[in-house]
Chains A and B, each alone.
Chain A
Amino acid sequence: MKATAKPTPPATESLQIHRQVVLPWGKSIAIAFNSIRVRFFRSLITTMSLVLAVSFLSFVSVNTNVANGLLSTGDPALRQALIRSGYDLQPEDTRADSSPKQRWIVILSLLVCVVGIVNAQLMAVTERFREIGTMKCLGALDRFVLRLFLLEASMQGLVGAGLGALAGALFALLSNAARFGTQAVTTPVPGDILLSVAIATGVGCLLSVLGVLYPAFVAARMQPVEAMRAEH
């Protein structure tokens, strides 16, 4: 019996082992997608605050796009209408910009949204302690768990933020059309509006991933026994 021999496997074996526990990307995406699909209602609630915040961001920036479009016509009547509706335009201004107050409100709403996501994801992680513990018993590494959560969050983020951005842009166009007439829809540069929607979607994805980071770390670092012991 070689009781005193150092039983650590040699480095080469350990390298092999590194390659031996795997979770292919395709499979990770499938598992993450399935996880969202099965818990659809839960995912919907997690994503809802993101949808609202992103649609607000998109609404504000598309509003600015529309105002710039209207200004670019050079029509003094439209300029007066813009000033009446609250835009702070000096006589020499050729571009409208969102006011600092608006920007603060947008930033605040995004902050609240991140806090909401962290909260909802922490709940989701707690609900899944047992599942995470089981996976770890079956040989999952910390980073598999981390990757699954990040993938889920980015999928939720992409869909939620995309929908939110589109909804916000649509609402901005409709409300401006109601206020300023069809010119509100025809004059803005389509590229600008697309850019606004894209930026809003990107910000939303980023926030979604940011919000899940801490909960995912908590989940990934958990020891299997602790995860199993958790009672629900």
Chain B
Amino acid sequence: MASVKNIVRVANVTKTFQLGKIDVQALKGVDLEIAAGQYVSIMGPSGSGKSTLFNMIGGLDKPSTGKVFIDEVDISQLDAYELAWLRCRKIGYIFQTFNIIQVMTALENVTLPMTFAGVRNETAVEKGMELLQLVGLADRFQHKPFELSGGQQQRVAIARALANDPAIILADEPTGNLDLSTGEEIITLLKNLSKERGVTIISATHDIKMLNVSDQVVWIRDGRIDKIESREELTISVGRIDARAEA
């Protein structure tokens, strides 16, 4: 048994989509282990299958073959209740398009997962305010999403993802719709959260800014893992990464 716990384990996962009469294989056998408390970036060009892999890890989609384990539980074995419970308690999601519920205020968005988890209303509101404070939006708790900027909406999404103290935060292109400096702020925020709270952060991205804060980078190409680089290897070869970005 390794000393570091694997929070996510992906075993020989393939995924085939049917586009009309053609079968498109988005993932062609992926094996991946992610240790608890790590900040992992899944990198790759668009169409490489990184969003598909991301959806598999999040239990949002089922693999065609192979298995995904979260906390050593095979998620394909879970029924609807257990999957909902997993999404509610274990995993926090952050999306490229923020996906803040438009008809609710910032605070209501943050408290909704806690309501699902059966937390009492006063407790949920109190914790929601704490989380909004944490992401620097305490004074805007009553704002509706359309009254917030993109960066602020993403902050609300981060606060919402943290609501039930999940073990994993899954971020799908969290900076994709943000400008450079706002994107950097969001990345710093995520990094601090992973450091202070020990949350495992897995983000699918092609934002090179993410590399500086990642403990591990998983490169995906054509539905396969190209290589996995750890932090040390990355810092040595920064020049190479920049070159890759332009390629």
Cβ contacts under 8 Å, A20 to chain B: 85, 88-89, 117-118
Which B residues are in CB contact (< 8 Å) with A9? 73, 82
Q: What's the least CB distance linking B131 to chain A, in Å?
A: 14
**Residues on B with beta carbons closer than 8 Å to the beta carbon of A7:** 69, 72-74, 77
Interface string of A1-15 (1 = CB under 8 A from B): 111001111000010
Given A20-B118, A27-B115, CB of A131 within 8 Å of CB of B77: no
Residue total for A at the interface (Cβ-Cβ under 8 A): 38
Number of B residues contacting the other chain (C-beta, 8 Å)?
38
Q: A109 an interface residue at 8 Å Cβ cutoff? A: no
Binds B, one of A33-41, A44-52, A112-120, A211-219: A33-41
* B residues adjacent to A (C-beta < 8 A): 1, 11, 55, 58, 60-61, 69, 72-74, 77-82, 84-85, 87-89, 93, 95, 97, 99-104, 112-113, 115-118, 121, 160
CB of A163 within 8 A of chain B?
A: no
Which of chain A's residues 184-232 have a Cβ closer than 8 Å to chain B?
Answer: 223-225, 228
Q: Assuming the A-B contacts A1-B1, A7-B73, A8-B77, are A139 and B117 also in contact, with contact meaning beta carbons closer than 8 angstroms in the complex? A: yes
A136 to B61 alpha-carbon distance, docked (Å)? 13
Is the CB–CB distance between B80 and A139 below 8 Å?
no
Q: Which residues from chain A sit less than 8 Å from chain B, CB to CB?
A: 1-3, 6-9, 14, 17-24, 27, 34-35, 38-39, 130-131, 133-142, 144, 223-225, 228
A38–B11 Cα gap in the complex (Å)?
Answer: 45
Q: Which residues of B contact A137 (CB under 8 A)?
A: 58, 60, 87, 93, 99
Q: Which residues of B contact A134 (CB under 8 A)?
A: 99-101
Which 10 A-B residue pairs are closest in the complex by CB-CB distance?
A: A139-B88, A38-B103, A139-B116, A138-B113, A134-B99, A7-B74, A17-B85, A7-B73, A8-B77, A22-B118
- Contacts known (A8-B74, A17-B85, A224-B60); A23 close to B99, Cβ less than 8 A: no
Chain A contact surface mostly: helix
Q: How far is the CA of A38 from the CA of B144 in the complex (A)?
A: 11
Q: What are 5 A-B contacts with C-beta separation under 8 Å?
A: A8-B77, A9-B73, A14-B82, A133-B99, A142-B80
For A36, give the chain B residue with the smallest CB separation: B103
Chain A CB count within 10 A is highest, among B11, B72, B99, for: B99
When C-beta atoms are compared, the residue in chain B nearest to A8 turns out to be B77
List chain A residues, Cβ under 8 A from B89: 20, 139
Give, as a whole number of angstroms, the nearest-CB distance from B116 to chain A: 4
Of all chain A residues, the one with the shortest Cβ separation from B120 is A24
> How many whole Å from A19's CB to the nearest CB in chain B?
8
Closest Cβ of chain A to B2, distance in Å, is: 8
Taken together as a complex, chains A and B put the C-alpha atoms of A39 and B11 apart, in Å, by 45
Q: Which residues of A contact B112 (CB under 8 A)?
A: 135, 138
In the complex with contacts A7-B72, A20-B117, A138-B113, A228-B85 CB distance below 8 A: no
In the complex formed, the residue of A with least CB distance to B161 is A138
Are the CB atoms of A39 and B103 closer together than 8 Å? Answer: yes
Q: A14 is contacted by which of B55, B81, B93, B95 (Cβ under 8 Å)?
A: B81
Instruction: Among B78, B82, B113, B160, find the residue whose CB has the most chain A CB atoms closer than 10 A.
Output: B82
